Each structure stands twice: as structure tokens, then as C-alpha cells.
Structure 1
Amino acid sequence: MTESEIQKQIIEYLNKSECKVWRANAGMVRVGKRTLKLLPKGFPDIFGVRLKDGKFIAIEIKKPTGKLSIEQIEFQDWAMKQKIIYGVAYSVDDAKKIIEGD
């Protein structure tokens, strides 16, 4: 299963549960002659809110063999110091465990 397939399944699951989440696009994209800067490199693939308490959710999606980039590790280090819900998910079950934690 590809990372984008896992991501789609997780977004569908979370939006049907007690969350509202969106897919994030990070980096830069070229549109004609213009370069648009998106979210910073390392920003997680999914972000949103846990509706029962309003906590911010940030989840990085990886396929089973995937590894975090340096920028993703830096975001992870920062996120773990904050009062947000953060984790790396390799499956819908992983995402479920992440949002159920505090």
C-alpha cells in the first residue's frame, strides 16, 4: 500500500470519528512563472482538531518502510514539547491510537 493510500484511509477514518482533519502540502510548487511557498518542509501530512477538546492534531504518515526526514524529525521534536496531539502513523490503527492519547 502506498503512503497516499494510507493517508486517504486515515483522513476518512478521522473525519468519521471525533476529529476534523485535512491533508497538508509542504514545500514549494511552481505555477507558471511563479513559485508558491506552501507549509514549511517537515510539516506533517495531516493536521486538524480533536473535536471533544479542541486539541490540535498533527500526524505524519509513512508506509511501513518509510523514514522521517531531518525536517520531519525537527518538527517531531518541537511537537513533542507542545500540548498538541502528534504521532507517526503507518496505518489507521496507529492514527486511532495517536488521537486517543493525550
Structure 2
Amino acid sequence: MTPEHEIQNKIRVAVSQHGCTIFRANVGKIRLPNGRVFDTGLPKGYPDLFGFRHKDGKMFFIEVKNEIGRLRPEQITFQRFASRMPVLYGVARSPEDAIKIVSDEDDA
């Protein structure tokens, strides 16, 4: 089974070569030396990758899953939210899936 971070890295390269700027949403918490917890601030369910197409500035969001990965409830909530907005959203298990999401043939 391929780790999701490996799939993410391959997607980032492929999408970048496809005329897009793409970012990884680094999320998590860390305990600071003073004992406080620092949280990145992104909402639960925020997709792994996001960015925009150079040709038109259209934003996209990509949730990365491996072969057996499933969306968590918070990710389903974000998916529903994104489907009502003028952005591109999809779940990708490969660079090819991601290219289909950012290409969005209906939008061309």
C-alpha cells in the first residue's frame, strides 16, 4: 500500500507541471516549550492540497487518499461545502486523478 505522503508528493509535481501553483496544507498540533499547544489553524477536514490554475486563477482543493483511504466525516463536510462553491474539488489517489480535477473539462 502506497503511503499518502508519497502520493501527495507525486501529485504536487504533476500538477505543478500542468500549469498550476499547488500548496500542501500542513496541519497538526505541537506542544511548545511553555506547555501550550500550537494548532495550525486550518479547519478539520481541510484538503491536503490546494492551489490555483495559472490560465484563469481558478482555485482547486484536492483530498489525497491511498488505495483504501476513505473520507472522514469532516472531509465529507468540506466536500459538500466545496461542491456549492465556484471552485474545483476532488479526491485523488494518483497524479492522474489530480490532473483530471484541475483540468475540469466542463470548465474549459
TM over 0.5: yes
Q: Which runs of 5+ in 2 are unaligned?
A: none
Q: Is the 8 A contact 1:26 1:41 kept in 2?
A: no
Taking structure 2 as the reference length, what is the TM-score of the superposition? 0.88
The superposition leaves residues 1-33 of structure 1 with CA deviations (integer Å, 9 ceiling, x where unpaired) of 111100000001111221001100234332332
Q: Which residue of 1 aligns with 2:62?
A: 59
> CA separation in 2, counterparts of 1:3 and 1:82?
26
Q: 1:95 aligns with which of 81, 95, 98?
A: 98
> CA separation in 1, counterparts of 2:79 and 2:101?
13
Give 1 or 2 for the bigger CA radius of gyration.
Answer: 2
Q: Is the 8 A contact 2:21 2:54 kept in 1?
A: yes
| Letter paired with 1:58 | F
Identity of aligned residues (%): 45
Q: Which residue of 1 aligns with 2:36?
A: 34
Q: 1:44 Cα shift?
A: 0.2
Q: Which residue of 2 aligns with 1:2?
A: 3
For the aligned residue pairs, the C-alpha RMSD in angstroms reads 1.1
- Structure that is richer in strand per residue: 1
Q: Is the 8 A contact 2:18 2:99 kept in 1?
A: no
Q: 1:68 Cα shift?
A: 0.4
Q: Which runs of 5+ in 1 are unaligned?
A: none
Taking structure 1 as the reference length, what is the TM-score of the superposition? 0.93
| Letter paired with 2:16 | N
Q: Is the 8 A contact 2:25 2:48 kept in 1?
A: yes
